[in-house]
């Protein structure tokens, strides 16, 4: 923008500052609504997918019958070792999830118990306090930080699944699953909890939920996934028989049919995530569009009201470009004031809403919404810009004379 257009816009905003603030207040309410919806959608999705998203893995291997559902998947743990010899695989780990409960004192929480192999891609990446349990360590667990917010502390002894006492040795961040906090334990403890919840299935430390795979740098994800599926399908029958013996007769490796999918696909397959994302995306887009329409209406009225002044500026030598820059500067200032105010108001709202409403604003969400609001604001003001470009001083003066 040229100096003249910007200076004219700022001078006009200083002269009519009351109108600026009243218009910005109306836009602020719409920005607050948009950011609240976007923040709520983001928080709900992250609280559904955290247990998988926190893992440093590129592929997830499910048994085929599970249809990429982690809670239904059951694969033999020894297969993880076999996958390490596939070209492009750097490391593997195993993970299993089970809805359960945790009791501490007089409080009882709904949780998801996660069995995992330590120091593998199955271990969550962000430990905020204490440490993670190692494989085979008896009676210890790490919990999601949301449980710390509800009163748990490192060193507390809690009751897991109604009858198993464990000690909390650490807390991890951003590992929620389907809106429930997670508790991370070694696989042998997870297997016992699962056996208690489903006695008919028996106890099997060898049977886990899924295998997670970290690829070597430069490896092709689709090619490695196809190789994993084909090699497991072609396992020698003697290996299958050995695995079934270790699984104590459970029919878990029949055919060795698996689905190896990218982590993003596994996240999208978590129940409700895809529908929830699509629904909120439509609502947020509509809210952003309303902001653009309101901005367009405001500046159309502004240009209509100030046509004589704009015509005078054109008559004394101001170019169309200067007038357009003047209008765009006012749009940007209005957008900046409304977005800043809406962001601060949403952050304040997030601090006072109940914990049951997972409202949070990440910088990436604010930046994306702010960019979308700026684009729609400029687009909405496009009608007013076209009026300015077609403005002819002689025609306006003639209309005023009549």
What percent of the chain is modeled with pLDDT above 70?
Answer: 78
Give the model confidence (pLDDT) of 78-119 as tens digits: 777 778 888 999 999 999 999 999 998 888 999 999 999 999
Contacts (Cβ under 8 Å, ≥6 apart) of 394: none
Residue count of the chain: 402
* Residue pair 333/26 in contact by the 8 Å Cβ criterion: no
Tell which wins on pLDDT, 43 or 18.
43
319-377 residue pLDDT tens: 667 777 777 777 888 888 889 999 999 999 888 877 667 888 899 999 999 999 889 88
pLDDT given for residue 309 in this prediction: 64
**What is the pLDDT, as a whole number, of residue 131?**
94
| pLDDT score of 285 | 92
Overall pTM surpassing 0.75 (yes/no): yes
Q: For 218-269, how does the pLDDT look when each residue is reduced to its tens digit (9 = 90+)?
A: 999 999 999 988 877 765 454 555 555 544 444 444 446 788 999 999 999 9
Residue 29, token pair as written in the block = 């309410």
At residue 135, does pLDDT exceed 60? yes
Answer whether residue 12 shows pLDDT above 70: no
Per residue in 26-57, pLDDT (tens digit) is 888 889 999 999 999 999 999 999 999 999 99
Quote the CA–CA distance of 10 and 330 in Å, as a whole number.
7
Ranges 13-22, 175-184, 374-383: which has the least confidence: 13-22
């Amino acid at each position: 923008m040229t100096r003249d257009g910007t200076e004219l816009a700022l001078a006009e905003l200083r002269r009519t500052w009351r109108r600026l603030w009243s218009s910005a207040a109306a836009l602020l309410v719409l920005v607050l609504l948009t950011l609240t919806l976007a923040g709520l959608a983001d928080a709900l999705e992250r609280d559904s997918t955290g247990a998988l998203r926190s893992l440093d893995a590129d592929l997830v291997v499910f048994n085929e019958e599970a249809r990429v559902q982690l809670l239904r998947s059951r694969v033999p743990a020894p297969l993880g070792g076999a996958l390490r010899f596939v070209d492009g695989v750097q490391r593997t780990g195993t993970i299993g999830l089970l809805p359960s409960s945790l009791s501490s004192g007089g409080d009882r929480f709904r949780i998801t118990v996660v069995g995992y192999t330590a120091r593998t891609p199955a271990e969550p990446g962000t430990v905020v306090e204490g440490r993670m349990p190692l494989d085979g360590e008896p009676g210890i667990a790490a919990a999601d930080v949301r449980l710390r917010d509800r009163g748990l502390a490192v060193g507390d002894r809690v009751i897991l699944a109604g009858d198993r006492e464990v000690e909390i040795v650490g807390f991890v961040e951003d590992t929620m699953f389907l809106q429930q906090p997670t508790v991370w334990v070694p696989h042998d403890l997870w297997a016992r909890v699962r056996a208690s919840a489903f006695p008919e299935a028996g106890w099997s430390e060898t049977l886990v939920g899924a295998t997670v795979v970290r690829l070597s740098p430069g490896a092709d994800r689709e090619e490695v996934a196809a190789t994993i599926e084909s090699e497991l399908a072609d396992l020698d029958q003697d290996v299958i028989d050995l695995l079934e013996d270790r699984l104590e007769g459970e029919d878990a490796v029949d055919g060795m049919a698996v689905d190896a999918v990218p982590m993003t696909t596994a996240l999208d397959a978590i129940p409700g995530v895809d529908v929830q994302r699509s629904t909120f995306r439509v609502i947020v887009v509509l809210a952003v569009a309303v902001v653009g329409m309101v901005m367009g209406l405001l500046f159309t009225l502004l240009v209509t009201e100030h046509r004589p002044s704009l015509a005078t500026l054109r008559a004394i030598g101001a170019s169309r470009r200067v007038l357009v820059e003047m209008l765009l500067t006012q749009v940007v200032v209005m957008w900046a004031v409304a977005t800043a105010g809406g962001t601060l108001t949403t952050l304040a709202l997030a601090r006072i809403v109940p914990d049951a409403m997972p409202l949070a604003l990440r910088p990436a969400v604010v930046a994306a919404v702010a960019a979308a609001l700026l684009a729609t604001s400029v687009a909405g003001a496009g009608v007013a810009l076209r009026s300015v470009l077609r403005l002819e001083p002689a025609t306006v003066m003639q209309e005023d004379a009549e």
